[in-house]
Amino acid sequence: MLGAVVTEKRPVDTDRLVEDHKNLVYHLIHRTVRDRTAHEEIFQEVFLNVLESLPRFEERSKLSTWIASIAVHTCYKFIQKAGKRERVESFGDWLEGGPEPGVPSDLQENLERSDIRRRLERHLGELAPKHALPVTLFYLEGMSYQEIAEIVEVPLGTVKSHLFRGLRELRKRIEGGEDGFLLG
């Protein structure tokens, strides 16, 4: 247990902080850093950075946006330190699971779903991070354009442009790539 941290403003339940934001941080790490062996180390580094910086959090943005920004920057520092230009690794957990519990499913449907997930992950992984990250944050994390702009520290128009170009490139890869159409 991490216990509690006291900031200049008020005490913070660090266990609750981690619990409330762990999925967001894991998703960002998973989609930004290809080296899966480093994910746990980066996760710990993100929350150490968050706890260290918490007294300086000015509440000009949502806490989740601020934490996501720290996560993205920590991932970029890891990539830079590793000396590689990484691409986004995974399209998302929303395709990983099978059907809802209690909903019947047949083997063919599961195989098709798995194939779609594999293709989407590959195609998204081929995009440059500047395009893949906004797609991930907007569509999978449900963040607004403004939140994404704060996280990646670019103007709002740039976020919209990167999102549009990322979707256009993803669509082009899915429909015209070696796979043919995603669903067929």
- pLDDT for the residue 9: 55
User: Which pLDDT tens digit goes with each residue over 21-33?
Assistant: 999 898 888 878 8
User: 64 lies in a domain?
Assistant: yes
- Do 8 and 75 fall within a single domain? yes
Domain final residue pick, 48, 82, 116: 82
Which residues constitute the domain of residue 118?
Answer: 104-176
- Do 131 and 162 fall within a single domain? yes
User: Which pLDDT tens digit goes with each residue over 102-128?
Assistant: 444 455 555 566 667 677 777 777 888
> Would you place residue 44 in the very low, low, confident or very high pLDDT band (cuts 50, 70, 90)?
very high
- Do 51 and 14 fall within a single domain? yes
- Whichever domain contains 33, its CATH number is 1.10.1740.10
- State how far the Cα of 38 lies from the Cα of 42, in Å rounded to an integer: 6
Domain count, the chain: 2
Residues 6+ apart with CB under 8 A from 60: none
User: Which pLDDT tens digit goes with each residue over 147-172?
Assistant: 899 888 899 999 999 999 988 888 88
pTM above 0.85, yes or no: no
Task: Report the pLDDT averaged over residues 52-62.
Answer: 87
- Identify which has the larger pLDDT, 50 or 106: 50
- Do 61 and 12 fall within a single domain? yes
User: 36 lies in a domain?
Assistant: yes
- pLDDT for the residue 94: 38
> Can you tell me whether residue 5 is helix, strand or coil?
strand
- Whichever domain contains 153, its CATH number is 1.10.10.10
- Do 67 and 12 fall within a single domain? yes
Q: For the chain, give the mean pLDDT.
A: 75
- State how far the Cα of 27 lies from the Cα of 31, in Å rounded to an integer: 6
Task: Report the pLDDT averaged over residues 71-91.
Answer: 67
| Closest among 113, 103, 138 to 31, alpha carbons compared | 138
User: 96 lies in a domain?
Assistant: no
End-to-end CA distance of the chain: 48
- Do 23 and 77 fall within a single domain? yes
